[in-house]
């Protein structure tokens, strides 16, 4: 009996040590995932860096809050919730939206009249900026909107990979916040969302952004691709105030941020499947303003506006892209 108790004790210690060494947890498409089961997994595996609950139809806001300790401890780096039942309320609560909003409001009040940085005598009252160290977040095929994504932008300042495919409630308002807060973003997927050329223009100044997917967006056209690499869209020349400063620039000034003017796009891959209104001028613009572009996906191009000479002009422009080393995939439907 004494030897048996020793064996059991060693077994329990080894089991606890083994569970503590796991860094990845995947319950992808698990139809039996329940709230008690989620609690059990979170309690057992305490050092997880990657969690995948994609396509778990029973995963909702209640289970989402169980991830809060991992988020707060900044151990978690990868969170995949594609196709789950989470909502705006759950995401805002997980990322402490109210707390972050109060921080930015306090910072804005502390700004002096010249829109400089926070005066030194007010810094101790505001405290450090709330920050969560997630690097990859997949919220595709969920019902979230701009409201909860602002909470993500406010807190996940180190985010590098963000997937929001088929989130139809996403608009330009969220993309406006991306260059203000997510300056480290390397990959962005907003395919099948409600963004327009105005929203695409906000992505042109992101220094780290390399891959963008804007496929199958209802407003996806040549102007959107132009805005993506130049930062300009049809209404961008219209200032929003009498001093010639638009809202985006004003917000950046209030936060003490700077945007590089006139810099070329750093994008290496653009996916714009099911686009429309693409012509030779658009391709020439891409060749000129996106010199680092390596992949351009224009498959399933909506070719209802094809005119005489269109294909000849397109071939010349495609040849320029190929000479720049760009791999182009294009098909007309």
Find, among 189, 173, 101, the residue nearest to 137 by Cα. 189
3-state class (DSSP) for residue 161: strand
What is the tens place of the pLDDT at every residue in 251-264?
Answer: 445 444 444 544 67
Give the pLDDT confidence score for residue 15 in this predicted structure: 63
Task: Give the Å distances, CA to CA, from 100 to 153, 154, 157, 193, 262.
Answer: 10, 6, 12, 26, 32
Q: What is the pLDDT of residues 305-319, one digit of tens each?
A: 555 555 566 677 777
For residue 101, what pLDDT is reported?
77
**Quick one: which of 283, 157, 142, 265 has its CA closest to 212?**
265
What is the rounded radius of gyration, in angstroms, for the C-alpha atoms of the chain?
A: 24
Give yes or no for a contact between 181 and 248, defined as CB atoms under 8 angstroms apart.
Answer: no
pLDDT reading at 124 higher than 50: no
Kindly state the tokens that stand for 81: 């919730």
Dump pLDDT digits (tens) for 277-329: 888 888 888 888 888 889 999 888 776 555 555 556 667 777 777 777 878 77
């Amino acid at each position: 009996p004494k030897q048996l108790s020793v064996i059991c004790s060693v077994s329990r210690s080894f089991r606890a040590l083994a569970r503590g060494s796991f860094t990845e947890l995947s319950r992808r498409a698990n139809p039996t995932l329940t709230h008690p089961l989620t609690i059990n997994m979170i309690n057992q595996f305490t050092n997880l860096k990657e969690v995948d609950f994609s396509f778990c139809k029973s995963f909702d806001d209640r289970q989402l809050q169980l991830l809060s300790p991992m988020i707060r401890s900044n151990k978690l780096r990868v969170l995949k919730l594609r196709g789950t039942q989470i909502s705006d309320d759950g995401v805002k609560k997980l990322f402490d939206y109210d707390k972050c909003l109060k921080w930015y409001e306090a910072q804005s009040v502390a700004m002096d009249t010249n829109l400089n940085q926070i005066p030194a005598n007010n810094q101790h009252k505001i405290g450090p900026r709330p920050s969560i160290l997630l690097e990859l977040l997949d919220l595709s095929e969920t019902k979230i909107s701009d409201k909860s994504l602002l909470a993500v932008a406010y807190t996940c300042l180190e985010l590098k990979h963000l997937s929001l495919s088929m989130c139809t409630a996403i608009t330009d308002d969220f993309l406006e916040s991306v260059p203000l807060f997510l300056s480290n973003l390397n990959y962005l997927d907003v395919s099948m969302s409600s963004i327009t050329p105005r929203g695409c223009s906000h992505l042109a100044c992101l220094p780290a952004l390399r891959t963008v997917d804007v496929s199958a967006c209802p407003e996806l056209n040549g102007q959107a691709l132009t805005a993506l690499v130049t930062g300009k869209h049809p209404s961008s020349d219209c200032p929003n105030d009498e001093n010639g400063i638009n809202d985006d620039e004003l917000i950046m000034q209030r936060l003490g941020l700077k945007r590089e003017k006139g810099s070329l796009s750093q994008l290496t891959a653009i996916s714009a499947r099911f686009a429309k209104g693409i012509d030779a001028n658009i391709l020439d613009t891409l060749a000129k303003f996106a010199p680092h572009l390596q992949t351009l996906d224009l498959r399933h191009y909506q070719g209802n506006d094809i005119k005489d000479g269109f294909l000849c002009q397109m071939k010349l422009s495609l040849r320029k892209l190929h000479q720049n080393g760009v791999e182009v995939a294009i098909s007309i439907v």
